[in-house]
Amino acid sequence: MGSYILALDQGTTSSRAIIFDKDQSILGAAQKEFAQIYPEEGWVEHDPMEIFSSQFAVMAEVIAKSNVPIEEIKAAMEGMLSPEIKEEVTATVEVREVFKITKVGTVAGCMVKEVATNYECGISLKNYQDIKIGDIIEGYEEKEVKKTL
């Protein structure tokens, strides 16, 4: 797989895309102007959907012009996407009793519900003193899920 950079430039009056190879040589470039809206003297506005569509159009045009395999561009673009953060519940406990302990605070006597045989545990949550009998506390793990195009 080659090394390519697809650069997108958003200017005030146009969108531009350029593809570079690993030696920083330009393989292709495209530019598209979009409407300037003048609601008052000295003001200028733009339609965000027109900006988006112009960026998409120049990206598609420069990929076609450069003959770079689309899968190589897609892989590079997916690598730039922020992953989605998913929460996966790892434990659920039910508060069965609440104890007020000096110098410790509130401690919840709990029953762990995720296992074949119930286990008892004690939980103290820092800066949270409003634990009540019947509350359900979930433990979770945050997992990154790679986004794709």
Q: Residue 75: what pLDDT?
A: 72
* Mean pLDDT estimate for the chain: 86
pLDDT tens digits, 25-53: 999 999 999 999 999 999 999 999 999 99
Return d(Cα 109, Cα 123) in angstroms, integer. Answer: 7
pLDDT tens digits, 99-131: 888 888 888 888 887 665 667 777 777 777 788
Phi-psi category of residue 105: left, alpha or beta, with phi > 0 → left and psi -120 to 50 → alpha: left
Asked whether the predicted pLDDT for residue 67 surpasses 80, the reply is yes
Which amino acid, residue 64? A
Q: Residue 49: what pLDDT?
A: 93
Give percent above pLDDT 70 in the chain. 94
Q: Return the DSSP state at 66.
A: H
Cβ-contact 44, 2 below 8 angstroms: no
Asked whether the predicted pLDDT for residue 17 surpasses 90, the reply is yes
Residues contacting 20, CB < 8 A, separation 6+: 4, 5, 7, 26, 27
Q: Residue 120: what pLDDT?
A: 75
Q: Tell me the mean pLDDT in the region 73-77.
A: 73
Residues contacting 5, CB < 8 A, separation 6+: 19, 20, 76
- Report which of residues 13 and 119 the model is more confident about: 13
